[in-house]
Each structure stands twice: as structure tokens, then as C-alpha cells.
Structure 1
Amino acid sequence: MPEMRFTIRWPDGGIEECYSPSLVIKDHLEPGRSYPLAEFRDRSRTALSIASDRVRARYGFPCSRALAQIGRIDAGSRRFEDTPDAEVGILSFQE
């Protein structure tokens, strides 16, 4: 399966490189675009869950790295839940 990384900018300006075991992330996020925090969290969770399910279908077990990435995105998002109009920017994809 082709894996990829995607780089995000948190509302405080912090940059984080994220992992996906599948290119499906391209169907849910777009480089150069910013998403409201809750929408980013939901789109990321959906894409990474699909990617993990694809790994399960192919290898018989879910992708632990994708599930861990969901956890890191959830944890990062919690830091900004009380920030009105918080957005997460998608900086780039690296295949």
C-alpha cells in the first residue's frame, strides 16, 4: 500500500507531520486549505479509519500507526477546543 505523510499547521502556528498508510487522505484534505478545527478532526478521523480498514482487509489487522495518528490529532485538537474560529492548515502531502 502506498503510504504518505501530510504536514499540518495547528492554530498556534505549530507544524506537525502526520502519517497515513494510504493515499485516501487526499480524498478528505487538500493542501493549501485550512479547515475549522472540528471539521479537520472529523475529516482526518474518517480518512485514517478508512486507511486502517484497508490495511486490515489486506493484512488481517488494522494499522496501528494510523490509529495512533488519530489519537495524536484528537489530543492536538483538544488544546484548541476553547479557541473560537480555530483552524488547521494543510501545508503539504509527501508520497
Structure 2
Amino acid sequence: MPEVRFTIRWPDGAEEKCYSPSTAIHRYLAAGETYPLADFVERARAGLNEASDRVAAKYGFACSAAMDQLALIEQVAKNQPSDGHVTCLTLL
């Protein structure tokens, strides 16, 4: 299953490298796009859940790395300004 690495910039300017176990994330995020914080979190949640589901369908178990990535995104988002924006810098 092809994995995807993507880099984001949080509203506070910090950049983070992220991981998806599947190309499913491409349906939810695009390189160069900026999203309102809440929208970004929802898109990341949908994409990473779909990616984990693809792993489960293929291997019989959910992808803990996708769920760990989602948990990290949700945790960092709580400490960002709610009216901030997240930019997806790369999606490879």
C-alpha cells in the first residue's frame, strides 16, 4: 500500500511532517492549499480514518500509525488559535 508523507504549517508557524498509510489522504488535502483550522482537522480525520480502513481491509487490522498521527493532529490543534489556518505545504 503506498504511503504518503505530508508537511503542514500550523497557524503558529510551526511546520510538522505527517504520515498517512494510504493515498486516500489525497482526496481530503492538497499541497499548497490553506484550510481553516477546524476544516483541516475534519479533513485530516476523514482522510486518516479512510486510510486506516484501507489497511484494515487489506491486512485485517487498523493502522495504528494513522490513528497516532490523527491523535497528534487533534492534540496540536487544541493549542492553536481557533480562527487560524493550516497550510498543506507538501503531499508526497
Structure 1 unaligned segments of length 5 or more: list them. Answer: none
Letter in 1 for 2:72: R
What SS class does the counterpart of residue 89 from structure 2 fall into? strand
Distance in 2, Cα, partners of 1:27 & 1:84: 24
Tell me the residue number matched to 1:86. 84
Structure 2 unaligned segments of length 5 or more: list them. Answer: none
Extract structure 1 runs of 4+ deviating beyond 2 A. Answer: none
Q: Once the two structures are superposed, what CA deviation does each residue of 1:28-72 show, in whole Å capped at 9, x if it has no partner?
A: 011111100000000000000000000001000000000000000
2:37–2:82: 8 Å Cα contact kept in structure 1?
A: no
Q: How far is 1:85 from its partner?
A: 2.4
How many residue pairs align between the two structures?
Answer: 92
Distance in 2, Cα, partners of 1:57 & 1:71: 21
RMSD over aligned Cα atoms: 0.8
What SS class does the counterpart of residue 92 from structure 1 fall into? strand
Q: How much identity, in percent, do the aligned residues show? A: 50
What SS class does the counterpart of residue 55 from structure 1 fall into? helix
Q: How far is 1:93 from its partner?
A: 1.3
So what's the TM-score if we normalise by structure 2? 0.97
Distance in 1, Cα, partners of 2:24 & 2:56: 15
Q: How far is 1:84 from its partner?
A: 4.9
Tell me the residue number matched to 1:54. 54
So what's the TM-score if we normalise by structure 1? 0.94
